[in-house]
Structure 1
Amino acid sequence: MTRSADFWNSAYDNDIAPWVIDEPQPAIVALERDGWIQGRVLDIGCGAGEHTILLTKLGYDVLGIDLAASAVAFARRNAAAQGVPAARFDVGDAIALGDAGTPPVYDTIVDSALFHIFGTEPDARAAYVRSLHALCKPGGLVDILALSDDGPGFGPQISDSLIRESFTDGWELEDLQSTRYRGRVTAGALEQQPDLGVPEGSSINVAAWLARIRRV
């Protein structure tokens, strides 16, 4: 479900975010390796900034945005610590970014673990998809990595059909496959899902979807 900026700020301020793993998601690294990240890039819901940092290192024109000011501050510190001070981050609302009049300037939008938070809120999900459409150039790609309901995990989990149903008019779903999402087992994650089978502080790979969607 969607949460306030204060909720997300608290996750970074108190170091309890299970998605902060000190490395890019392997599925996103593979996307770039396979050529599915091109041109000007938006890392939407960038969190700790690992994907923006990676893509900046590789020479992409990339911007990371996040609703939480604490996430953006964390990402900037992270970039500096990794020797990538050129990595760019801004605070921004993923839904409001696509307000009327916004020019479609991005060739690729990378969504790592943002889309699924709208899973139980159809109005917010539709608004988010409209925002993506407004931001992405015609012919551009939206790459989505989302937690799957196909197995135990943590956080909001969604079905593949929800992705299919959300991207119809103005979109072409080119690929949708099962993959894994790497997380960090926090006390909160164990409270939510006690049968994860690994101790607190461990890393874990849970079921996820990887979607490649073209803006038409």
Structure 2
Amino acid sequence: MSIPLETWNAVYDNDSAPWVIGEPQPAIVALEQQGWIRGRVLDPGSGAGEHTILLTRLGYDVRGVDVSPSAVRYARRNAAAQGVPAARFDVADGLDLAAAETLAGDGGAPAFDTIVDSALFHVFGEYPEARAAYVRSLHAVCEPGGLLHVLALSDRESGFGPRISDTLIRESFATGWELEDLQPARYLGRVTDSVAEQAAGLAQVDGKVSVAAWLARFRRLA
């Protein structure tokens, strides 16, 4: 069990998602600048599409996917508005990415060299079965030796959203993955009605708040 599809659709239809900030997450921008993104790239839970748009603009072969049709429509409009109509978005279930025909590579099966998960993994924090299914799903579409980056909200500070521990991240990817790095990071959000109570007291700068996060890097084992 996890969050209903109707909930995801509603936040994009109403433009009320606290993670839609009108720009890519700085932590993801830094990954690209540091050379940690290569080859064919998957952006699961692409939401408003900021990371797919960024990487497309920079010349990467990248695909953004989201379980929410409303999110995909939002991302396509966003890409067009930013002058990056070539950015590709599709509806796909993160719990079964291998079943998405639109993700298939030349060999017929989805295969990505880099996966960039910005604030999706932590959504499954309270749902062990869904969390395990998501980890298996990522493994199925990642090339052996490929990299997975996970940016997730941290429970080490007060904030909003589904905050998780570094221990949960380590334990969830214990099979089939090698943890190469896990560091504290920051995540930018905006205070909407859905998180106003949780975010009370957080300092806002230009309408955004900075909250504690984790940034992990895993390598997919054969």
TM-score range, shorter chain: over 0.9
> May I ask how many residue pairs the two structures share in their alignment?
215
2:121 — aligned with what?
Answer: 115
For 2:114 and 2:2, the matched residues in 1 are separated by 24
C-alpha displacement at 1:26, in angstroms? 0.1
Instruction: Give the whole-Å Cα distance in 1 for the aligned partners of 2:158 and 2:58.
Output: 34
- Report the 3-state secondary structure (helix = DSSP H, G, I; strand = E; otherwise coil) of the residue aligned with 1:47: coil
Aligned partners of 1:84, 1:98: CA distance in 2, in Å?
Answer: 27
- Structure 1 distance, partners of 2:198, 2:93, is 26
Q: Are the equivalent residues in 2 in contact too, given 1:190–1:196 (CA < 8 A)?
A: no
Is this contact kept in 1: 2:182–2:214, CA < 8 A?
A: yes
Task: Specify the alignment match of 1:94 in structure 2.
Answer: 94
Q: Specify the SS of the correspondent of 1:77.
A: helix
Q: Deviations over 1:39-61 (max 9, x none)?
A: 00000000000000000000000
Percent of residue pairs bearing the same amino acid type: 67
Partner of 1:210 in structure 2? 215
Residue 198 (structure 1) shift: 4.2
Q: Equivalents in 2 of 1:143, 1:185: separation in Å?
A: 25
Structure 2 residue aligned with 1:55 = 55
The whole-number CA distance in structure 1 between the counterparts of 2:168 and 2:195 is 23
| Contact persistence 1:47–1:66 (CA under 8 A) | yes
Cα distance change on mapping 1:138 and 1:18 into 2, 3 Å: same
CA distance 1:104–1:73, shift in 2 (3 Å): closer
- Structure 1 residues 195-206: aligned runs within 5 Å: 195-198=201-204, 202-206=207-211
Q: Which runs of 5+ in 2 are unaligned?
A: none
Structure 2 counterpart of 1:90, one-letter code? D
Matched residue of 1:213: which SS? strand
Mapped to 2, the partners of 1:2 and 1:195 lie a distance apart of 29
Query: Which one-letter code corresponds to 1:116 in the other structure?
Result: H
CA contact (8 A) 2:203 2:209 kept: no
Measure, in 1, the Cα distance between the counterparts of 2:35 and 2:172: 25
SS in 1 for 2:174: coil
Which residue pairs with 1:39 in the alignment? 39
Q: What is the RMSD of the two structures over their aligned residues, measured on CA atoms? A: 1.8
The normalised TM-score by structure 1 is 0.95
2:88 aligned partner, one-letter code: R
